[in-house]
Structure 1
Amino acid sequence: MSQLTIGVVAPLTGRLAPLGKPLTYVLKALAPQLEHIRNGNRRYDVSVAIRDSRSDPAAARQAVHDLVTTEQAHLVLTMAGTQVPPAVADACEELRVPCLSTTFPWQAYVHSRGDGLRHCFRWTYHFAWGLDDIATVFAHMWEQIDVTHAVGCLWNDDLQGSLLRHEEYGFAPVTSARGHFLVDLGPYREPATDFRTHIGRMREHSAGMVTNAATAADLALFHYQARQAGLRPRLITCSRWLTDPHTHTPTVPGIHTELADARVATLVYWSPDHPYRSSLDGTTCADLAHAYQRDTGESWLQPLGLAHALVETAHHTLSTADDPADHAAIAQALAGTTLPTIAGTLDWKRGPTPNIALLRLAGGQWHPGPKGPSLAIVTNADAPDIPVTGELKPA
């Protein structure tokens, strides 16, 4: 019997630590399925080695080096954040070790690594959605509210903002084709201190809705200052931080009340209502969410389903590679993978590049409730098998 090692780079500490919890939970829950893997007639013992990224790209790169040189990892898994996974992927590419990542738009995954969108990596693979997919879902929700209003764009001056503004693969190509008028309210530095200039531009252009990728604290400040100025967006769509409940953010005076009042809409890439099952044991999305809440005492998060799919794909890859102890064979198996998972079917043979498998998106809205905000799915135009569970409500 031979030994295989799966290396994991997860944010156990730092600002991304809440998003690391789903991955560590899934690794523990699926430990029995990962102890041994059968590939053809051979049976392999499998160990899982976890290193803390500390929510920092430099620490994440060092974690990869430790996993490869000390643990002899055959495959590295990572997720959470927009800066850490690309750092992990770059380190794996340099060390010629297969890597699988998830949780942020594929254009950001490629662009942040300094390569063109059609660049083919040799060792690193990713599954997620695209900026164009987010724009399409948001446009569906804008159109449920009012097709005539201009949409104010509250985007920062960092990577996220530059990508969302990009004339080729940002929001404009998708939304302009659908007849929407985007008003860039101007870049801002995170954390923000004053949005009054942005609110002035919103008033100047009669922007009735706002789209953004802001942190919960920044969005709460914007909403508060807009209300103070007598403006109330009919709909706010958020593509980055508010995919998870704002109650997971650090306590800031008034933030949760402000965002509950804003009724923020967002993308939905996984939920307990998704109709998919685990390829490992048949676990449903509802089963996984319930187990997480029962075992941790915390609400499910969207990354939970992606963490599970990440481990499912690792198991499948090592089970089907021509030689699961050979890095090149593992990378080749990933490139040829088509796998139904608890997050939907992942197909690297049909992605926008050979390194990308796409996930479909629904649109959701945070509705206030007695136990905190709950995420209702309000549009499924691009994922009709995902059930709609609530109505989109303007603020």
Structure 2
Amino acid sequence: MSKSTKFMPVSRRIFLGATSALAVLAMSPAVMAQGETIKIGYVTPQTGPLAAFAEADDFVIKQVYDILGGSIETANGPVNVEIIVRDSQSNPNRAAEVARQLIVDDEVQLIVVASTPETTNPVSAQCEIEGIPCISTAAPWQPWFIERQANPGDPSTWESFDYTYHFFWGLEDVIATYQGMWNQLETNKQVGGLFPNDADGNAWGNPDVGLPPALAAGGYTVTDPGRFQNLSDDFTAQINAFKAANAEIVTGVVIPPDLTTFWTQANQQGFKPKVVSVAKAILFPIAVEALGPIGNNLSSEVWWSASHPFKSSLTGQSAGELAEGFTAATGRPWTQPIGFAHGLFEVAIDSIKRADDPFDPDSLAESIAAINLDTIVGHVQFGQEGLPPVVAANVSKTPLVGGQWRIQDDGSFELVIVENAAHPEIPLGGKMEAIE
């Protein structure tokens, strides 16, 4: 692969140079002559219904820019660094398209990608095809790994990947976390399932290996009205099905606009379960604040928080300090993807530093596979126990706890950790409460 740099409009490239501000600069030939440039492509859903996942991107990239000061010290000496950011527009086809542009047109050495299987999967698949190392996060490992297999339903046929690596938690972790929250309350164990027709929904709602059979083993019964399209405007069918089943719990994995529509209509139609624990939709303060008072005591998995006891390998910052830095820089509350966006660059930079030749795809992929790093989101290391070996070769699990949104006197919301059985090192902030 050529190591030359192609120039393009400055709004599309971020060069990490030796200046103090996050400026998008055209690198001069004189600067280029000082050393080779390693290029990292970054794909996230910066617009569209998944845009909340990318809220911290600018903050994280600026921080990485300031930390690196223009270069990375590798096994072969210092190299300049360039980060090229691409917006997936919350569209899987667009995600694949921009990944190919990064590989073919921009000639990147590495791609990092985050935020739901709709973004991570098409980018990872493109990288695997083209033989370009890729690090991904912020999607459960099952839809990321299993949905990319030639025969997803037959684990005996699954194969590891050569160039794509992923760190996050799995459905087994969210199931245990949700049940840990629900078991704190008296319910009839009737659960309504909201599963859209996308990679996440099909994995979570799978009747053989998804939430329904796992919850059944815990004594819960799931009513699944069937798949719906993202950005639906009418959830009456689902609400009626849940009412008929006398569901006191609702769970699922939905995008933020769909939860707003569902929960608003549920309240209007007199359906008020004791518990609503949904993934994806209420990870962000802005999504809960949009609901107003009816957002109180909605619950979700918590991948990362200001109280997580981890530190950055790049800055030494604690999770709390990183969260405070985001709020100071933006004036907005911290949001869970901050940690994982930061963690992506921790893993990427550590891998580049250790690679025998970071410009060689195989060498860089080998370095990623060998990572053994404490990060702001926990320890990242592939090949660990707790997963099938074929999966563990490409997947490193990170901690998961459960939280509940509590409305404050000023109308804002606080995320309180209420379930930490699997990770007692992450402190509790309270107990699970029923929706009133």
TM-score using structure 2 length: 0.83
Is residue 279–residue 300 contact of structure 2 (8 Å, CA) maintained in 1? Answer: yes
- 1:213 is matched with 253
- 2:327 is matched with 293
Distance 1:258 1:189 in 2: 27
Distance 2:45 2:243 in 1: 40
Distance 1:148 1:205 in 2: 10
What is the DSSP-based 3-state SS (H/G/I as helix, E as strand, rest coil) of the residue aligned with 1:283? coil
Match of 2:274 among 231, 234, 241: 234
Is residue 301–residue 401 contact of structure 2 (8 Å, CA) maintained in 1? Answer: yes
Letter in 2 for 1:337: I
Deviation at 1:344, TM superposition (A): 0.5
**1:81 counterpart = 2:121:** no
- 1:222 is matched with 262
Q: Cα deviation per residue 1:249-272 (whole Å; 9 max; x = unaligned)?
A: 8xxxxx5126424x2100000000
Please give the residue correspondences for 1:240-251 in structure 2 after superposition, counting only pairs within 5 Å.
240-247=280-287
392 and 69 in structure 1: CA distance in 2 versus 1, 3 angstrom threshold: same
What is the DSSP-based 3-state SS (H/G/I as helix, E as strand, rest coil) of the residue aligned with 1:49? strand
- 1:355 is matched with 394
Deviates more, 1:20-29 or 1:385-394: 20-29
Is residue 18–residue 248 contact of structure 1 (8 Å, CA) maintained in 2? Answer: no
- 1:8 is matched with 42
Please give the residue correspondences for 1:337-376 in structure 2 after superposition, counting only pairs within 5 Å.
337-350=371-384, 351-352=387-388, 353=391, 354-369=393-408, 370-376=410-416
Distance 1:201 1:62 in 2: 39
- 1:23 is matched with 57
Letter in 1 for 2:404: Q
Identity across matched positions, percent = 31
43 and 368 in structure 1: CA distance in 2 versus 1, 3 angstrom threshold: same
Match of 1:328 among 362, 366, 371: 362
**1:167 counterpart = 2:202:** no
Distance 2:215 2:45 in 1: 34
Q: Cα deviation per residue 1:70-107 (whole Å; 9 max; x = unaligned)?
A: 33211111112331221111111121110111111111
**1:150 counterpart = 2:184:** no
Distance 2:130 2:146 in 1: 20
Letter in 2 for 1:184: D
Deviation at 1:177, TM superposition (A): 2.3
What is the DSSP-based 3-state SS (H/G/I as helix, E as strand, rest coil) of the residue aligned with 2:428? coil
What is the DSSP-based 3-state SS (H/G/I as helix, E as strand, rest coil) of the residue aligned with 1:266? strand
Distance 1:182 1:87 in 2: 30
Q: Unaligned regions of 5+ residues in structure 2, if any?
A: 1-34
**1:187 counterpart = 2:227:** yes
Deviation at 1:308, TM superposition (A): 0.7
Deviation at 1:295, TM superposition (A): 0.5
Deviation at 1:225, TM superposition (A): 4.0
- 2:17 is matched with none
Is residue 8–residue 49 contact of structure 1 (8 Å, CA) maintained in 2? Answer: yes
- 1:279 is matched with 313
Q: Cα deviation per residue 1:5-43 (whole Å; 9 max; x = unaligned)?
A: 222223333333332231332111121333222234622
Deviation at 1:373, TM superposition (A): 1.6
301 and 341 in structure 1: CA distance in 2 versus 1, 3 angstrom threshold: same
What is the DSSP-based 3-state SS (H/G/I as helix, E as strand, rest coil) of the residue aligned with 2:183? helix
Deviation at 1:235, TM superposition (A): 0.7
Deviation at 1:379, TM superposition (A): 0.6
Distance 2:53 2:217 in 1: 35
Distance 1:12 1:302 in 2: 15
Is residue 246–residue 259 contact of structure 1 (8 Å, CA) maintained in 2? Answer: no
RMSD: 2.2
Match of 2:238 among 174, 177, 198: 198
84 and 367 in structure 1: CA distance in 2 versus 1, 3 angstrom threshold: same
Q: Unaligned regions of 5+ residues in structure 1, if any?
A: 250-254
Q: Cα deviation per residue 1:166-191 (whole Å; 9 max; x = unaligned)?
A: 23431134322222222224433333
Deviates more, 1:315-324 or 1:62-71: 62-71
Is residue 49–residue 257 contact of structure 2 (8 Å, CA) maintained in 1? Answer: no
Deviation at 1:139, TM superposition (A): 0.7
Deviates more, 1:293-302 or 1:366-375: 366-375
- 1:98 is matched with 133
What is the DSSP-based 3-state SS (H/G/I as helix, E as strand, rest coil) of the residue aligned with 1:324? coil
Deviates more, 1:189-198 or 1:237-246: 189-198
Deviation at 1:229, TM superposition (A): 4.5
